[in-house]
Amino acid sequence: MKRVLGAAVLVAGLLSGTAASATTTTTPSRTSATSPSRTTPTAGQQRQQQIATQIVTLRSQVADASAEEGRLLDLLDASDARLRDLSTKIAAIDGRIVPAQQQLDVAQGRLDGIEAHYLATSAQLEATQHQLDTATDDLRQRAVDAYVGGPEATAYADLVFHLDDVRALAASTVYLKAVLDGRARIVHQYRVLQGRTTGLVAALDGQRADALQERNVVAGTESALEIARRSQDGLRQQALAEQNQRQSLIAQVRGKKAEFQSQIRSLQTESASIARLLRSRQAGQRVQPSGHGVLSSPIPGAAVTSGFGPRVHPI
């Protein structure tokens, strides 16, 4: 009986020693398990400070982008003002081109009429000159014949010698004189017509020269206006190109602003998540899982890294 009690006491002592040793060995494991939780807030605080610095930098970049956008908008307004001014000048030039074109059309019409009149007068002068040359040759031949006793003198002599009385001779003389006077009158009319036609041609030449000079003046004016309009059109194209370029720059600035603001929102979300995590650990709370049986990052937007390289799903 005593041996049984001694064995029981020995077993109890061994069990108590084992429990004490187990308690002693598990205590360091708790300490080692909780030691990483004491270093995590420091890393989180460092990350928060880094995020705060990045947010300040991004906000400064957004402010710079806004200032640049405002400056470009001012330049764009100035470009629009120049474009309106150029359009006004072009409209004024077009307003001067219209009456100049009308003057040119009137001068051209007057010149066409003068040229037509000149051609008609030239044709009339040519015909009259031909008739005058023919009449001059005829009269010259008659004068020669009369001087050398040609057919006309012979006919006049025959007429005189074959007349029976003085009355017939007088009548024949009057007739011959009338014929000669008629021819002289025709020659005179031809000469008058020639002088008149020559004067008309000279007047037409002067009018034609005046019309040509006027046409040259109007054409020169129109040419100058066309050059000015092309110059204004070139300036307007330059202004439009400048405006398009500035609008492209403004779009780029706005795109950068949107990108900066998106980064700021992402960093703010990450900073808020880190702050919640730090507060929960400082209060001694356990980190709640983010889903039901789904592995996810405890901090939205935070970079997930691994010392063992990238992971590839085995399936």
Give the residue, 47 or 293, on which the prediction is more confident.
Answer: 47
Give the list of residues 6+ apart from residue 93 with CB closer than 8 angstroms, or none: 225, 228, 229, 232
Predicted local confidence at residue 17, as pLDDT: 40
Buried b (16+ CB within 10 A) or exposed e, 38-77: eeebeebeebbeebeebbeebeebbeebeebbeebeeebe
- Quote the CA–CA distance of 230 and 233 in Å, as a whole number: 5
Q: What is the pTM of this model?
A: 0.41
Residue 249: count of CB within 10 angstroms of its CB: 15
- Quote the CA–CA distance of 55 and 266 in Å, as a whole number: 10
Predicted local confidence at residue 283, as pLDDT: 65
Amino acid at 51: I
What average pLDDT does range 27-40 have in this prediction? 44
What average pLDDT does range 251-260 have in this prediction? 72
* Structural domains of the chain in order of their starting residue, each with its CATH number: 43-282 (1.10.287)
Question: What tens digit of pLDDT does each residue of 144-167 get?
Answer: 665 665 555 555 555 555 555 556
Question: What tens digit of pLDDT does each residue of 49-104 get?
Answer: 777 777 777 667 666 666 766 777 777 777 777 778 877 877 887 787 788 778 77
CA distances from 34 to 26, 27, 119, 156, 308 (A): 13, 11, 122, 166, 24
- Quote the CA–CA distance of 202 and 190 in Å, as a whole number: 18
What average pLDDT does range 116-125 have in this prediction? 76
Do 306 and 79 meet the contact criterion of CB atoms below 8 Å apart? Answer: no
- Which is nearest to 273 in space by CA: 296, 291, 299? 299
